[in-house]
Amino acid sequence: MSASRIVPILLLAGLALAASAHGLMGKKNQTFDGVIVQDLTTYEFYPDSKDCNYRGTPYVLLPNRRFYEIVTASSDVEHMERLLHGRWRVKLNGNLSAVGWHRYRKNYWRELSVNYVVDAVEMSCGDSR
């Protein structure tokens, strides 16, 4: 292959690498739609999910105090199970971490730190999950 053909290929490969690296960086003050799944004290966020059929790789959610006042306030205190496990369809604003190794009860690739909750609706998924 001649040098005149290799140079454009290398430039395209470099641009593709730069674009993918940009996607791996963190994002500040972004709005996200998805589903939050609570399991005891861990909250997982499934971006772009809309219902009980959430899939993909979740982010570990780092709630703030207002999150608990808005999202989990709807949980029924008389039913202990609802205090430890829940699912919500949400729209929230937060800061997404860069791809890394975040360990809570298991390993996550990213953290989503909540700034504020725009909207939250509790979901009843039954035993479908």
pLDDT digits (tens, 9 = 90+) for 58-87: 999 999 988 888 886 555 555 555 567 889
**How many domains are there within the chain?**
1
Does any domain span residue 18? no
Report if residue 128 sits inside a domain: no
CB 58 within 8 A of CB 37: yes
Q: Is 15 within a domain?
A: no
pTM for this structure? 0.73
3-state DSSP helix/strand/coil % of the chain, to nearest 5:
30, 40, 35
Residue 28 has a pLDDT of 93
Q: Which residues pair with 113 in a beta bridge?
A: 62, 95
Query: In whole angstroms, what is the distance from residue 113 CA to residue 73 CA?
Result: 19
Report yes or no on 40 lying in a domain.
Answer: yes
Contact 48, 117 (CB under 8 A): no
Q: Is residue 6 part of a domain?
A: no
In this structure, what DSSP letter does residue 15 have? H
Q: Which pLDDT belongs to residue 51?
A: 93
Q: What are the tens digits of pLDDT across the range 19-41?
A: 554 456 688 999 999 999 998 88
Long-range Cβ pairs for the range 96-103 (8 Å, 24+)? 96/26, 96/27, 96/30, 96/32, 96/59, 97/26, 98/24, 98/25, 98/26, 99/24, 102/60
| Average pLDDT over every residue of 112-116 | 95
Query: 15 pLDDT band (50/70/90 cuts)?
Result: low
Give a yes or no: residue 80 inside a domain: yes
| Nearest Cα to Cα of residue 116 among 63, 38, 41 | 63
Residue 34 falls inside a structural domain: yes
Assigned domain for 46 exists: yes
- For 82, the domain range is 27-122
